[in-house]
Structure 1
Amino acid sequence: MKKIILIGRSECGKTTLTQALKGEKIHYHKTQYVNRFDVIIDTPGEYIQTKNLGNAIAMYTFEADVVGLLMSSREPYSLYPPCVTPLCNRPVIGIVTQINSDGADPDRAESWLRLAGCETIFRVDSKTGEGVWKIIDYLREDGDVLPWDEEEMSR
Protein backbone atom coordinates (compact mmCIF):
# COMPACT_ATOMS: atom_id res chain seq x y z
CA MET A 1 0.00 0.00 0.00
CA LYS A 2 1.10 3.53 -0.69
CA LYS A 3 1.61 5.59 2.46
CA ILE A 4 -0.77 8.57 2.79
CA ILE A 5 -0.57 11.66 4.96
CA LEU A 6 -3.92 13.17 5.94
CA ILE A 7 -4.01 16.96 6.19
CA GLY A 8 -6.93 19.18 7.12
CA ARG A 9 -8.33 21.48 9.77
CA SER A 10 -9.47 20.28 13.18
CA GLU A 11 -12.66 18.22 13.18
CA CYS A 12 -12.68 17.66 9.40
CA GLY A 13 -12.50 13.88 9.91
CA LYS A 14 -8.83 12.90 9.57
CA THR A 15 -8.72 10.61 12.60
CA THR A 16 -12.16 9.16 11.85
CA LEU A 17 -11.01 8.41 8.30
CA THR A 18 -7.83 6.85 9.70
CA GLN A 19 -9.95 4.55 11.85
CA ALA A 20 -12.18 3.67 8.87
CA LEU A 21 -9.18 2.94 6.61
CA LYS A 22 -7.76 0.65 9.29
CA GLY A 23 -11.12 -1.12 9.72
CA GLU A 24 -11.43 -0.02 13.35
CA LYS A 25 -14.54 0.89 15.30
CA ILE A 26 -15.16 4.63 14.96
CA HIS A 27 -14.76 6.62 18.16
CA TYR A 28 -13.82 10.23 18.83
CA HIS A 29 -10.16 10.82 19.51
CA LYS A 30 -8.49 14.24 19.41
CA THR A 31 -5.14 14.03 17.65
CA GLN A 32 -2.57 15.90 19.72
CA TYR A 33 0.54 15.07 17.70
CA VAL A 34 1.52 13.47 14.41
CA ASN A 35 0.59 9.78 14.49
CA ARG A 36 2.42 7.39 12.17
CA PHE A 37 0.78 4.08 11.35
CA ASP A 38 1.89 1.48 8.79
CA VAL A 39 0.50 3.30 5.76
CA ILE A 40 -1.20 6.37 7.28
CA ILE A 41 0.16 9.56 8.81
CA ASP A 42 -2.54 11.40 10.80
CA THR A 43 -1.78 15.04 11.56
CA PRO A 44 -3.37 17.45 14.05
CA GLY A 45 -5.56 20.11 12.47
CA GLU A 46 -3.65 22.82 14.28
CA TYR A 47 -0.68 22.15 12.01
CA ILE A 48 -2.55 23.39 8.95
CA GLN A 49 -4.43 26.08 10.87
CA THR A 50 -1.29 27.74 12.25
CA LYS A 51 1.15 29.43 9.89
CA ASN A 52 4.25 28.46 11.87
CA LEU A 53 3.23 24.80 12.08
CA GLY A 54 2.32 24.64 8.39
CA ASN A 55 6.01 24.30 7.56
CA ALA A 56 6.13 21.10 9.63
CA ILE A 57 3.35 19.62 7.49
CA ALA A 58 5.45 20.27 4.39
CA MET A 59 8.27 18.26 5.93
CA TYR A 60 5.99 15.35 6.88
CA THR A 61 4.77 15.04 3.28
CA PHE A 62 8.21 13.69 2.35
CA GLU A 63 7.50 10.60 4.46
CA ALA A 64 4.41 9.74 2.39
CA ASP A 65 3.74 8.51 -1.13
CA VAL A 66 0.42 10.38 -1.39
CA VAL A 67 -0.86 13.57 0.24
CA GLY A 68 -4.54 13.66 1.16
CA LEU A 69 -6.09 17.10 1.61
CA LEU A 70 -9.29 16.69 3.61
CA MET A 71 -12.20 19.08 3.68
CA SER A 72 -15.46 18.58 5.50
CA SER A 73 -18.51 19.10 3.33
CA ARG A 74 -19.78 21.39 6.11
CA GLU A 75 -16.92 23.89 5.79
CA PRO A 76 -17.96 27.54 5.37
CA TYR A 77 -14.60 28.41 3.73
CA SER A 78 -11.38 26.78 2.53
CA LEU A 79 -8.03 26.94 4.32
CA TYR A 80 -6.24 25.88 1.13
CA PRO A 81 -4.99 28.57 -1.22
CA PRO A 82 -5.50 28.13 -4.96
CA CYS A 83 -2.92 25.95 -6.73
CA VAL A 84 -1.21 24.81 -3.51
CA THR A 85 -0.65 21.18 -4.54
CA PRO A 86 2.55 21.75 -6.57
CA LEU A 87 4.33 22.68 -3.31
CA CYS A 88 4.92 19.02 -2.57
CA ASN A 89 6.43 16.57 -4.98
CA ARG A 90 3.88 13.85 -4.26
CA PRO A 91 0.51 13.08 -5.81
CA VAL A 92 -2.14 15.07 -3.95
CA ILE A 93 -5.70 13.80 -3.67
CA GLY A 94 -8.72 15.60 -2.28
CA ILE A 95 -11.01 13.92 0.22
CA VAL A 96 -14.43 15.39 0.97
CA THR A 97 -15.57 14.10 4.36
CA GLN A 98 -18.83 14.09 6.31
CA ILE A 99 -20.84 13.93 3.08
CA ASN A 100 -24.03 12.76 4.81
CA SER A 101 -23.96 15.26 7.69
CA ASP A 102 -26.60 17.91 8.27
CA GLY A 103 -25.73 21.02 6.29
CA ALA A 104 -23.35 19.12 4.01
CA ASP A 105 -22.45 20.62 0.64
CA PRO A 106 -20.00 18.16 -0.91
CA ASP A 107 -20.09 19.92 -4.29
CA ARG A 108 -18.78 23.15 -2.73
CA ALA A 109 -16.04 21.30 -0.82
CA GLU A 110 -15.02 19.45 -3.97
CA SER A 111 -14.82 22.69 -5.95
CA TRP A 112 -12.52 24.20 -3.30
CA LEU A 113 -10.27 21.11 -3.41
CA ARG A 114 -10.14 21.36 -7.22
CA LEU A 115 -9.20 25.04 -6.89
CA ALA A 116 -6.38 23.99 -4.54
CA GLY A 117 -5.12 21.73 -7.33
CA CYS A 118 -6.55 18.29 -6.51
CA GLU A 119 -7.45 16.39 -9.66
CA THR A 120 -8.47 13.14 -7.98
CA ILE A 121 -11.18 13.60 -5.35
CA PHE A 122 -12.97 11.09 -3.14
CA ARG A 123 -16.20 11.65 -1.22
CA VAL A 124 -16.46 9.68 2.02
CA ASP A 125 -18.59 9.13 5.07
CA SER A 126 -16.20 7.40 7.44
CA LYS A 127 -18.94 6.48 9.90
CA THR A 128 -20.91 4.47 7.32
CA GLY A 129 -17.87 3.47 5.26
CA GLU A 130 -19.25 5.06 2.10
CA GLY A 131 -16.42 5.78 -0.33
CA VAL A 132 -13.64 4.54 1.98
CA TRP A 133 -12.97 1.48 -0.19
CA LYS A 134 -12.24 3.80 -3.15
CA ILE A 135 -9.37 5.39 -1.24
CA ILE A 136 -8.06 1.95 -0.26
CA ASP A 137 -8.25 0.88 -3.90
CA TYR A 138 -6.36 4.04 -4.95
CA LEU A 139 -3.60 3.36 -2.41
CA ARG A 140 -3.32 -0.29 -3.38
CA GLU A 141 -0.16 -1.36 -5.18
CA ASP A 142 0.48 -4.39 -7.38
CA GLY A 143 0.93 -7.45 -5.22
CA ASP A 144 -0.99 -6.09 -2.21
CA VAL A 145 -3.26 -8.73 -0.70
CA LEU A 146 -5.97 -7.26 1.49
CA PRO A 147 -7.96 -9.21 4.10
CA TRP A 148 -11.01 -9.56 1.85
CA ASP A 149 -8.77 -10.86 -0.94
CA GLU A 150 -7.48 -13.60 1.38
CA GLU A 151 -11.07 -14.62 2.24
CA GLU A 152 -11.99 -14.79 -1.44
CA MET A 153 -8.88 -16.83 -2.32
CA SER A 154 -9.59 -19.32 0.46
CA ARG A 155 -13.05 -20.11 -0.93
Structure 2
Amino acid sequence: MKKIILMGRSECGKTTLTQALKGERLQYEKTQSMNYYDLIIDTPGEYAENKALAGALALYAYEADVVGLLLSATEEYSLFSPNIVSLVNREVIGIVTQIDHPEGRPEQAKEWLKLAGCEKIFFVSSYTREGIEELIDYLTKGGERNPS
Protein backbone atom coordinates (compact mmCIF):
# COMPACT_ATOMS: atom_id res chain seq x y z
CA MET A 1 0.00 0.00 0.00
CA LYS A 2 1.20 3.50 -0.78
CA LYS A 3 1.85 5.93 2.06
CA ILE A 4 -0.23 9.11 1.80
CA ILE A 5 0.17 12.54 3.38
CA LEU A 6 -3.07 14.49 3.85
CA MET A 7 -2.92 18.28 3.43
CA GLY A 8 -5.66 20.87 3.72
CA ARG A 9 -7.04 23.60 5.93
CA SER A 10 -8.31 23.10 9.46
CA GLU A 11 -11.58 21.19 9.73
CA CYS A 12 -11.58 19.97 6.13
CA GLY A 13 -11.70 16.35 7.33
CA LYS A 14 -8.09 15.11 7.32
CA THR A 15 -8.21 13.43 10.74
CA THR A 16 -11.71 12.06 10.19
CA LEU A 17 -10.58 10.61 6.85
CA THR A 18 -7.54 9.12 8.59
CA GLN A 19 -9.85 7.42 11.10
CA ALA A 20 -12.10 6.14 8.29
CA LEU A 21 -9.16 4.78 6.29
CA LYS A 22 -7.89 2.98 9.39
CA GLY A 23 -11.35 1.58 10.19
CA GLU A 24 -11.53 3.40 13.51
CA ARG A 25 -14.53 4.94 15.24
CA LEU A 26 -14.99 8.51 14.03
CA GLN A 27 -14.48 11.15 16.68
CA TYR A 28 -13.33 14.75 16.55
CA GLU A 29 -9.68 15.21 17.42
CA LYS A 30 -7.81 18.46 16.85
CA THR A 31 -4.50 17.66 15.17
CA GLN A 32 -1.83 19.61 17.04
CA SER A 33 1.25 18.20 15.32
CA MET A 34 2.21 15.84 12.52
CA ASN A 35 0.64 12.45 13.17
CA TYR A 36 2.79 9.82 11.52
CA TYR A 37 1.09 6.44 11.13
CA ASP A 38 2.27 3.40 9.19
CA LEU A 39 0.65 4.44 5.91
CA ILE A 40 -0.89 7.86 6.63
CA ILE A 41 0.61 11.20 7.63
CA ASP A 42 -2.08 13.47 9.09
CA THR A 43 -1.06 17.13 9.14
CA PRO A 44 -2.40 20.11 11.11
CA GLY A 45 -4.47 22.48 9.00
CA GLU A 46 -2.45 25.41 10.28
CA TYR A 47 0.53 24.15 8.27
CA ALA A 48 -1.42 24.70 5.04
CA GLU A 49 -2.89 27.98 6.27
CA ASN A 50 0.32 29.62 7.48
CA LYS A 51 3.18 30.43 5.12
CA ALA A 52 5.75 30.15 7.92
CA LEU A 53 4.71 26.55 8.64
CA ALA A 54 4.13 25.40 5.06
CA GLY A 55 7.74 24.31 4.62
CA ALA A 56 7.11 21.43 7.01
CA LEU A 57 4.53 20.05 4.57
CA ALA A 58 7.14 20.01 1.82
CA LEU A 59 9.57 18.12 4.05
CA TYR A 60 7.03 15.53 5.17
CA ALA A 61 5.87 15.01 1.58
CA TYR A 62 9.20 13.29 0.97
CA GLU A 63 8.14 10.61 3.48
CA ALA A 64 5.05 9.73 1.43
CA ASP A 65 4.36 8.10 -1.93
CA VAL A 66 1.20 10.13 -2.55
CA VAL A 67 0.19 13.66 -1.56
CA GLY A 68 -3.53 14.08 -0.92
CA LEU A 69 -4.85 17.63 -1.22
CA LEU A 70 -8.14 17.85 0.66
CA LEU A 71 -10.93 20.33 0.09
CA SER A 72 -14.23 20.15 1.88
CA ALA A 73 -17.35 20.37 -0.28
CA THR A 74 -18.36 23.23 2.05
CA GLU A 75 -15.34 25.45 1.29
CA GLU A 76 -15.90 29.06 0.27
CA TYR A 77 -12.50 29.22 -1.42
CA SER A 78 -9.41 27.10 -2.05
CA LEU A 79 -6.11 27.49 -0.21
CA PHE A 80 -4.30 25.78 -3.07
CA SER A 81 -2.70 27.95 -5.75
CA PRO A 82 -3.16 27.10 -9.42
CA ASN A 83 -0.79 24.33 -10.53
CA ILE A 84 0.65 23.90 -7.03
CA VAL A 85 1.15 20.18 -7.70
CA SER A 86 4.15 21.05 -9.89
CA LEU A 87 6.07 21.90 -6.70
CA VAL A 88 6.03 18.28 -5.50
CA ASN A 89 7.94 15.37 -6.98
CA ARG A 90 5.32 12.91 -5.71
CA GLU A 91 2.02 11.76 -7.13
CA VAL A 92 -0.70 14.24 -6.07
CA ILE A 93 -4.39 13.40 -5.83
CA GLY A 94 -7.36 15.53 -4.89
CA ILE A 95 -9.85 14.46 -2.25
CA VAL A 96 -13.21 16.22 -1.86
CA THR A 97 -14.48 15.58 1.67
CA GLN A 98 -17.83 16.12 3.38
CA ILE A 99 -19.73 15.32 0.18
CA ASP A 100 -22.77 14.34 2.29
CA HIS A 101 -23.10 17.85 3.77
CA PRO A 102 -26.45 19.43 2.76
CA GLU A 103 -24.77 22.74 1.87
CA GLY A 104 -21.83 21.11 0.14
CA ARG A 105 -20.76 21.91 -3.41
CA PRO A 106 -18.53 18.97 -4.34
CA GLU A 107 -18.32 19.97 -8.02
CA GLN A 108 -16.93 23.39 -7.06
CA ALA A 109 -14.27 21.75 -4.86
CA LYS A 110 -13.44 19.40 -7.75
CA GLU A 111 -12.87 22.36 -10.08
CA TRP A 112 -10.55 24.02 -7.56
CA LEU A 113 -8.55 20.79 -7.21
CA LYS A 114 -8.31 20.49 -10.99
CA LEU A 115 -7.04 24.09 -11.10
CA ALA A 116 -4.41 23.14 -8.50
CA GLY A 117 -3.26 20.44 -10.92
CA CYS A 118 -4.91 17.29 -9.53
CA GLU A 119 -5.79 14.87 -12.30
CA LYS A 120 -7.22 12.12 -10.07
CA ILE A 121 -9.94 13.30 -7.69
CA PHE A 122 -11.88 11.26 -5.12
CA PHE A 123 -15.20 12.19 -3.53
CA VAL A 124 -15.54 10.88 0.04
CA SER A 125 -17.72 10.98 3.10
CA SER A 126 -16.04 9.53 6.16
CA TYR A 127 -19.44 9.22 7.89
CA THR A 128 -21.37 7.39 5.16
CA ARG A 129 -18.11 5.74 3.89
CA GLU A 130 -19.01 6.77 0.34
CA GLY A 131 -15.83 6.80 -1.74
CA ILE A 132 -13.62 5.36 1.03
CA GLU A 133 -13.22 1.93 -0.59
CA GLU A 134 -12.33 3.52 -3.93
CA LEU A 135 -9.59 5.56 -2.23
CA ILE A 136 -8.28 2.48 -0.40
CA ASP A 137 -8.29 0.51 -3.68
CA TYR A 138 -6.31 3.29 -5.33
CA LEU A 139 -3.73 3.34 -2.55
CA THR A 140 -3.37 -0.43 -2.55
CA LYS A 141 -3.17 -0.79 -6.34
CA GLY A 142 0.19 -2.33 -7.13
CA GLY A 143 0.42 -3.96 -3.71
CA GLU A 144 3.48 -2.87 -1.79
CA ARG A 145 4.63 0.64 -1.06
CA ASN A 146 6.41 2.36 -3.91
CA PRO A 147 10.18 2.73 -3.48
CA SER A 148 11.22 6.27 -2.54
- Cα shift at 1:128: 1.1
Query: What CA deviation, in whole Å up to 9, does each residue of 1:92-142 have, x standing for no partner?
Result: 000000001121000000000000000000000001111011111011043
Is 1:121 the counterpart of 2:121? The answer is: yes
Change in CA separation of 1:128 and 1:81 when aligned onto 2, cut-off 3 Å? same
Query: Which residue identity is paired with 1:128?
Result: T
Letter in 2 for 1:53: L
RMSD: 0.9
Q: Which runs of 5+ in 2 are unaligned?
A: none
Change (3 A) 1:99 1:143: closer
- Separation in structure 2 between the aligned mates of residue 76 and residue 54 of structure 1, nearest angstrom: 21
Whole-angstrom distance in 1 between the partners of 2:43 and 2:15:
8
Kindly report which structure 2 residues correspond to 1:61-76, keeping only aligned pairs within 5 A, or say none: 61-76=61-76
Structure 2 CA distance, aligned partners of 1:116 and 1:141? 24
Larger Rg: 1
Equivalent residue, structure 2, for 1:18: 18
Unaligned runs of 5+ residues in structure 1 are 145-155
Q: Name the structure 2 match of 1:151.
A: none
1:45 and 1:143 mapped to 2: Cα distance? 30
CA–CA distance in structure 1, aligned partners of residues 19 and 50 of structure 2 = 25
The structure-2 alpha-carbon separation of the partners of 1:106 and 1:143, relative to structure 1 and needing over 3 Å to count, comes to: closer
SS in 1 for 2:62: helix
**2:67 alignment partner, SS class:** strand
Residue equivalent to 2:29? 29
Relative distance call for 1:27 and 1:84 in structure 2 (3 A) is: same
- Give the structure 1 partner of residue 84 of structure 2: 84
- Counterpart code for 2:8: G
Residue 7 of structure 2 is matched in structure 1 by: 7
User: Cα distance, 1:84 vs. partner?
Assistant: 0.3
- Compute the TM-score of the two structures, normalised by the length of structure 1: 0.91
Structure 1 residues 143, 67: CA separation in 2 closer, same or farther (over 3 Å shift)? closer
Amino acid at match of 2:17: L
Q: How does 1:30-109 map to 2 (within 5 A)?
A: 30-109=30-109
* Aligned pairs, number: 144
The letter for the 1-side match of 2:108 is R
Name the CA distance, whole Å, in 1 between partners of 2:80 and 2:5: 16
